Amino acid sequence: MEHRSPNPPATAIDAVGGSRPLSTQAFADRAYRTALNPLRNPVKEIMDSAATVEATPPMLGIFNDVPWHRFRESEAHAWAKAGYLWIVNDAEHSQWEGYYGREQNAAELRLGLLPVQRLHREAVSAHGDSYQLGARATMRPYGTTYEEAERYFRSVNFPAPGSSTPHDRGGYPVRTGDRSMMFTPDELRGAETEVQGWIQFETAEYILDTELRDRVLDLMAAQGRNKACGFVGPFDAILRGGDAQEMNRGVNDLFVAAAARGIHTGRVVGSGAMEDPRDIEDGMVDAIEHGARLICVHPLTSDMTYRGAAAMADPFFRACARCGF
């Protein structure tokens, strides 16, 4: 029987634990649940607790360009405290520096952050390897054909025993909370019930070609409830597709079509041309009202240092201006 929380979160604040900034108790609860199950997926738990996509509260995310060897848990703590729930560790454009390992993924999960490992479009077996390093979702960019989506799911799913269906996935033992090793096929499949495959919709083929779009969405729905998510990279979509207004309409139509199939989707909102917080807020409202639930800010994690420093310095410069300096 499918299990749902008796009190699923109704608002974005409920989803992060009832308060923002997060309380010490909320961090302790997240760490405790992750110690019991280091393979949990905190975002999928929220999705699973809601009856429909429409009833799921929006969840905030950001792309992480901090190199794995420069990652600090104290910074990730600030991300979580501010209300972020999912982090895309970017090994597509950052390449090896963005390929997060066991320690980095474990730190994010202890803080209640879903580590999403984005990989380059040519990656195949690296998706399964990312799960075994602790990522609970991977992201596949730049799809233009149905076959690419099909192969992606072959690379993230373990084959059924004796199946003649081709698969591109190998196995490697993973550990439970007490560090016991899981070796058998059933144990390995059981360890990945909470992982997700996120497909990026950032080409005209996937957004504007509604026949192909719907075939890909049907394939995603066939993976199982909340096992596949869609994410729009509008910068790449407009770069490739041209007309920004037509693409934005296509993106909103995608959100509606995905929600009708029970698929959670999202997008980046904002850009260098949209820096006014009011415009960004309006863009987020538009996305949420069309069915998007994975909302992403446009700055990267490495931008937080300057933006936070500037916000802390602002009162000083306002005070100087008031005093004639």
Residue 6 falls inside a structural domain: no
What pLDDT shows up at residue 3? 43
In a domain, 232, yes or no: yes
Task: Give the pLDDT of residue 147.
Answer: 96
- For Cα atoms 35, 36, 41, give the angle at the middle one, nearest 5 degrees: 85
pLDDT number for residue 23? 95
What residues of the chain score a pLDDT lower than 70? 1-6, 164, 242-243, 272
Asked if residue 240 is part of any domain, the answer here is yes
Model pLDDT, residue 19 = 93
Domain assignment present for 5: no
> Residue 273 belongs to a domain with what CATH number?
3.20.20.60
Classify residue 1: in a domain, yes or no: no
Overall domain count for the chain: 1
pLDDT tens across 120-137, in order?
999 998 999 999 899 999
91 lies in which domain range? 12-322
| Cα–Cα distance, 85 to 59 (Å, whole number) | 6
- The predicted structure's pLDDT at residue 6: 55
Asked whether residue 56 is domain-assigned, the answer is yes
Residue 7 located in a structural domain: no
pLDDT at 4: 47
| 205-214 per-position pLDDT tens digit | 999 999 999 9
The amino acid present at 60, given as its one-letter code, is L
Cα-flanking dihedrals φ and ψ of residue 118, to 5°? -85, 135
Q: Where are the alpha helices (DSSP H) in the chain?
A: 12-15, 24-36, 42-49, 73-82, 102-110, 125-132, 146-156, 185-190, 204-207, 210-222, 234-241, 244-260, 277-289, 304-322
Whether residue 225 is contained in a domain is answered as yes
Q: Which residues of 163-172 are buried (b: 16+ CB within 10 A; e: fewer)?
A: eeeebbbebe
